[in-house]
Amino acid sequence: ISNNSGMQAYWMPFTANRQFKAAPRLLARAQGMYYQSDDGRGVLDGTAGLWCVNAGHGRRRISEAVAEQLDRLDYAPSFQMGHDKAFEFADRLSRIAPAGLDRIFFTGSGSESVDTALKIAIAYQRAIGQGTRTRLIGRERGYHGVGFGGITVGGIVNNRRVFPTLTGADHLRHTHDPDRNAFSPGLPEHGAELADDLERIVALHGAETIAAVIVEPVAGSTGVLLPPKGYLQRLREIADRHGILLIFDEVITGFGRLGAPFAADYFGVTPDLMTTAKGLTNGVFPMGAVFARRAIHDALMTGPENAIELFHGYTYSGHPAGCAAGLATLDIYAEEGLLTRGATLGDYWRDAMHTLRAAPHVIDIRTLGLVAGIELRSRPDAAGARAYEAFVDCFNRGLLIRVTGDIIALSPPLIVERSHIDTIVAQLRDALSRIA
């Protein structure tokens, strides 16, 4: 990509280049609920950056903690070494973790967390004498990042089209039925039996070949797809019955998005492994963490033979600056009650979003906590065009939304106030009325 002055950069996803060149959107600053574009306009952040800036932008406490840490200890090797902040951060995380998931493995991103969890699952199965269990199961329309493990279990065929995938992976049918669920606020009442698709996969491949099944409790980046009531419980039961580990990818749902610290808390279903990133450090430092049941940790880490089963770790695992950012982030979450803010504000959010049901093109509205998906009827000649137009229009008028296909996704920082919600809805209504 190049900016207006012709400077080149190569970090943007290649697929975005064409559109980006036509309408560059450069961000210069950020504070609280707002970005500022490089031409000085305020842009209300309806997406918490990329689902990550849960405590809002420009939190001085986090940047000061990072600066202080970098002055004191800028880097520590993650193999055979440690430092106080990594232990303190792991300890603090284990205290807010869903019951039993109190062993923490640090990574550098969501994708690394996913690959780490998948490797842990296979290594653990082997450590307990289940070495034939190497198959990994994902779900259609699941997004698990861009590592090889992540694209293999990911349910977006296009993302793995040109790459070899790990052998043997399979995918559950997804959870969402727009015809049945349109406009019903909250979790769909029907459809828990979709979890029985895991039985089909077990019958097809044999339970003794399957290590784990990974799902986003609420699929985020593919359009905010809410599971039917009871779906995750049922998936847990089926996985247990067949000795299959259950992994929740909480890279988006973790750290308060649904109005509870984690989706596992919200749904009352505890997985065996849980992947996180994004809100872990308020998006300030690239970092992820995998939460594991203690028995899984112990089976892999208690003896030298076992530890060799899982040679794994990253140069930046438990980076001092990341841990400092994360600790300051957890302080803010706790002091401002942000991890449960969506439980109270969620009703206002839901009702406000549902006023858009009469807006042009809208065919479904899904909300939970402080996340929303608004699905538009696609233009027959150009799928995705309507949502993209809304995105450009909103940005130009001062609102950042996210679109995937013809679905608009919203996930504001959890410090959002009712007045911001009103603004988001009013802007969206205007934008929808302007698109063809």
Q: By the criterion CB under 6 A, which residues form the site for ligand PMP?
A: 109-111, 114, 143-145, 216, 220-221, 249, 251-252, 277
> In this structure, what DSSP letter does residue 146 have?
S
Q: How far is CA 286 from each of CA 75, 107, 215, 363, rounded to the nearest angstrom?
A: 14, 9, 22, 36
C-alpha 152/C-alpha 125 separation (Å) is 19
Q: In what order do the strands lie in the sheet with 27-31?
A: 27-31, 34-37, 42-45, 399-400
Q: Which residue has the tokens 């698109």?
A: 435
Q: How far is the CB of 115 from ligand PMP (least distance, A)?
A: 9
- 121/252 with CB nearer ligand PMP: 252
- 181/404 with CB nearer ligand PMP: 404
The tally of CA atoms less than 13 A away on the side-chain side of residue 349 is 28
Q: How far is the CB of 276 from ligand PMP (least distance, A)?
A: 9
Q: How far is the CB of 203 from ligand PMP (least distance, A)?
A: 28
C-alpha 79/C-alpha 108 separation (Å) is 15
- 143/255 with CB nearer ligand PMP: 143
C-alpha 293/C-alpha 295 separation (Å) is 5
Residues 47, 409: contact at Cβ < 8 Å? yes
User: Which of 113, 165, 106 minimizes the C-alpha distance to 144?
Assistant: 113
C-alpha 79/C-alpha 38 separation (Å) is 41
- 107/130 with CB nearer ligand PMP: 107
- 188/279 with CB nearer ligand PMP: 279
Q: How far is the CB of 5 from ligand PMP (least distance, A)?
A: 28
Q: How far is the CB of 10 from ligand PMP (least distance, A)?
A: 17
- 274/421 with CB nearer ligand PMP: 274
- 56/217 with CB nearer ligand PMP: 217
- 150/188 with CB nearer ligand PMP: 150
**Cα Rg of the chain, angstroms:** 21
Q: How far is the CB of 4 from ligand PMP (least distance, A)?
A: 27
C-alpha 66/C-alpha 327 separation (Å) is 10
Q: How far is the CB of 215 from ligand PMP (least distance, A)?
A: 10
Q: How far is the CB of 66 from ligand PMP (least distance, A)?
A: 18
**Chain residue at closest Cβ approach to ligand PMP:** 110
Token pair of 208, please? 């003794």
> In this structure, what DSSP letter does residue 259 have?
S
